[in-house]
Structure 1
Amino acid sequence: MKEKVIALSLMAMAVTAAHAQSSVTLYGRIDNGVQYESGVPGGHVFSAESGDWGCSWWGLRGAEDLGGGTQAVFQLESQVDTQNGQQEGNLFSRHATIGLTNPKYGTFKLGNLGAGEVSQDSWGTDPQVMQRYGISSLVRGRNWASAANGFEYQTPNWSGLSFRGQYDLTNNTNWNQATSATGQGRTDGIEGVYTYGMGDFRVIYDEVRGADGTFNDVYNHSRSLLAGGTLVFGPVRFYAGYQHLSAPNATDASVGVTPGTQPIGVAAPTAVNHEWFGAAWQANVATTLTAAVYHANANNGNGNATLFTLAATYNLSKRTFLYTEAGYIRNSSTSNLAMADSSYGNNNYDPATNTSSNGNPNYGHSQEGIFAGIMTSF
């Protein structure tokens, strides 16, 4: 711990010196708030939270001019729980990359792509911009995939059209398998975005393999095809999207389900279809109101769920805003999806210890929640 503090202190001094040369930028954001949720295992909970609108992070971003319009670029980024000050994940688990960029030829970078994995760009099709209750809820966080040991190429913008491709290695003798039984196998993906006068449209395809190199968990290790976009009419931006997940190798064992804990006829899903639509209304310069509906249906008897959301933000300045969001999720009789991403399976709630391995409601039960907070960036 002492060594980490010393390293961060030296880094801060280096940033100060480099910043004077306009080559390195220190940036970040802090999000803290409170939330209330009912229908969780054991009843309801009122809590202080970091990251309901979006996770808190800090990072370093730099560029060096190499001539001819080409720059060497790097990015280091770390996620923080600003309710307790603890680092989430490794020091630079969100980003640790270096590369080259040129406005004519595009950008190439390699390293830990982390939170830059292409599936996370699905926020651009989400009316709630991937808040706690949003596009990731009904797919149990599948849109928060991350990628290490990778390289990426981003094309220039061609009259509103651009593409981004990624490939991430396992550093293992087996091309697709992870180096440990708990690791993530090979991942890859491609994204196309077209922006036009009244909105935008994007298509994202990505693959995240399990440790054994197969698609063995539809919510974690699967193929994902997502398409969606926006359309603007005056002060209102409309959103719509569709996502299909496929994990043909999924079994109860591969998703960690204990036999006999699920409803009769229910087995690990191998496919999920997910649709959503919504609208964001810019009521005035400072205020935005957003409403959205999300629906997902899983095969193998897992039923369906619908999430209804209503949110608002109020800008206090260019860098700081207040936010709030309310949500309600309705499950069919064999579904137990939660308001926020949670692992698949029965909640196995133990009343004696008041604990559960996840936040899922009972099968067929609903959940409600509301949160509010403040976000600032620097």
Structure 2
Amino acid sequence: MRKIATLAIATMAGCAVYPAMAQSNVTLYGIIDTGVARIDNVNGSNVNLLRSGNLLTSRFGFRGTEDLGGGLKAIFNLEAGLSSDTGATNTPFFNRQSWVGLGSDNLGELKMGRMLPTINDVFVASLNASWLGNSTSALDGAGVGAGSSAARFNNMIGGTRVDNAIKYQTPSMSGFKIHAMTAFGEVAGASSAGRILSLGGSYASKNIEAGLVYHERNCAEAGGCAAGKDKDKILGVGGAYLVNGARYGAFYTRQKNALNVRGNDADVLSLLARVPLNGTSWVLGGGFQYLNDKTALNQDVRQFNLAANYLLSKRTQLYALYSHQTVKNGGKAGMYSTTSSTDKQNQFGVGITHTF
């Protein structure tokens, strides 16, 4: 497998094989998730789908390290999204991860490229959105229908990637880590236009995971924010308690000027539970999410999520999912890039996931 991955990287880069063979370790990895889904009220009609990524996004990638001596190592990650139902890949090809950096047990990690934001790094373990019933229906603006009420917000938890980023993470200090990231807007003559800044801290022990993050994105205009626009600011706090293989978590974000629209403010609360049934291969998950729309529209969103997973092995599982979303004050419900014609929408899904 290592030789195959090394050869693939060398071929795609258009390089000679020799430099790639210098890697100490290169791993090909991925997830294939395919299932049947039924979504009611998609623009007024029900729809049945054979869909990739019901539970976890299908993907494949390469990650590698090279030992540079003295505790220092070179690290990289290239990861592409995949639609297992059609075989299609996304554009750009490595749209999920594309970065290179240096890592040290004593100094931490420094990475550069396209990456998940710091707020996702700190909270994804505690949020565990995929166990809430549908990994792409979390109420954060990612993966929801463009015409739905929730699509007006994006608290950066749902997998939104950041281009042109530099990220640093300290080594663990008695369970504590400091996380920092900046990303260049690359607007000529305006170094701050489109710039992203993010700073956070996390803690992890045998039973507790917790974190606090601040994230901001400047307006992209070279002359500063245009009328009706402002700096997007997100503050997040959350954590999880782990006991006997079960996870119970809570996560909260406060967002001001979402998507750089002035006054487009919202709070999002997510609660979750993931519990393995002792002596069986079953894992049950459930959660509740609430988006408090603080604009004049006041289109609050509530969502309930349920999941049942049957583990065939450490790498393969069967699953069944259910999600129900409701919206106040005439807002449109929307999950997984679909939009309802009313304030309600349901999703059902069953499928299989294999990791490699």
TM-score by length of 1: 0.78
Deviations along 1:131-188, whole A, 9 cap, x unmatched?
A: 67368532221223211111111100111111221111122221233xxxxxxx2223
Compute the displacement of 1:71 (Å): 0.6
Structure 1 residues not aligned, in runs of 5+: 1-5, 178-184, 252-267, 343-358
Equivalent residues in 2 for 1:158-169, closer than 5 Å = 158-169=173-184
Q: Secondary structure at the match of 2:130?
A: coil
Q: What is the rounded CA distance, in whole Å, between the counterparts of 2:23 and 2:168 in structure 1?
A: 28
Could you tell me which amino acid in structure 2 is paired with residue 362 of structure 1? S
Q: Secondary structure at the match of 1:120?
A: helix
Partner residue of 2:3?
Answer: none
Check if 1:171 corresponds to 2:166: no
Deviations along 1:87-125, whole A, 9 cap, x unmatched?
A: 112122222211111101111111222xx2223333323
Equivalent residues in 2 for 1:302-317, closer than 5 Å = 302-317=298-313
Deviations along 1:312-334, whole A, 9 cap, x unmatched?
A: 11111111111221011122123
Q: What is the rounded CA distance, in whole Å, between the counterparts of 2:120 and 2:315 in structure 1?
A: 22
- Cα RMSD for the two superposed structures: 3.1
Assess if the C-alpha contact under 8 Å between 2:108 and 2:169 holds in 1. yes
Moved more, 163-172 or 116-125: 116-125
Aligned pair in 2 of structure 1 residues 94, 135: CA closer, same or farther (>3 Å)?
closer
Q: What is the rounded CA distance, in whole Å, between the counterparts of 1:215 and 1:229 in structure 2?
A: 37
Could you tell me which amino acid in structure 1 is paired with residue 44 of structure 2? G
Aligned pair in 2 of structure 1 residues 129, 7: CA closer, same or farther (>3 Å)?
closer
Assess if the C-alpha contact under 8 Å between 1:127 and 1:291 holds in 2. no
Partner residue of 2:324?
Answer: 328
| Residue 254 of structure 2, aligned match among 241, 244, 250 | 244
Deviations along 1:266-324, whole A, 9 cap, x unmatched?
A: xx861101112121111135221011111111122232121011101111111111122
Q: What is the rounded CA distance, in whole Å, between the counterparts of 1:215 and 1:206 in structure 2?
A: 21
Q: Secondary structure at the match of 2:309?
A: strand
Q: What is the rounded CA distance, in whole Å, between the counterparts of 2:62 and 2:328 in structure 1?
A: 45
Structure 2 residues not aligned, in runs of 5+: 1-6, 143-153
Assess if the C-alpha contact under 8 Å between 1:126 and 1:239 holds in 2. yes
Check if 1:283 corresponds to 2:277: yes
Q: Alignment length, in residue pairs?
A: 329
Partner residue of 2:340?
Answer: 361
Q: What is the rounded CA distance, in whole Å, between the counterparts of 2:268 and 2:217 in structure 1?
A: 18
Partner residue of 2:168?
Answer: 153
TM-score by length of 2: 0.82
Q: Secondary structure at the match of 1:47?
A: strand
Aligned pair in 2 of structure 1 residues 31, 210: CA closer, same or farther (>3 Å)?
farther
Q: What is the rounded CA distance, in whole Å, between the counterparts of 1:337 and 1:154 in structure 2?
A: 37
Q: What is the rounded CA distance, in whole Å, between the counterparts of 1:330 and 1:323 in structure 2?
A: 24
Q: What is the rounded CA distance, in whole Å, between the counterparts of 2:285 and 2:90 in structure 1?
A: 29
Partner residue of 2:117?
Answer: 117
Q: What is the rounded CA distance, in whole Å, between the counterparts of 1:215 and 1:202 in structure 2?
A: 33
Aligned pair in 2 of structure 1 residues 127, 65: CA closer, same or farther (>3 Å)?
closer
Aligned pair in 2 of structure 1 residues 316, 283: CA closer, same or farther (>3 Å)?
same
Q: What is the rounded CA distance, in whole Å, between the counterparts of 1:203 and 1:248 in structure 2?
A: 19
Aligned pair in 2 of structure 1 residues 17, 104: CA closer, same or farther (>3 Å)?
closer
Q: Secondary structure at the match of 2:120?
A: helix
Q: What is the rounded CA distance, in whole Å, between the counterparts of 1:339 and 1:294 in structure 2?
A: 13
Assess if the C-alpha contact under 8 Å between 1:222 and 1:246 holds in 2. yes
Compute the displacement of 1:32 (Å): 1.0
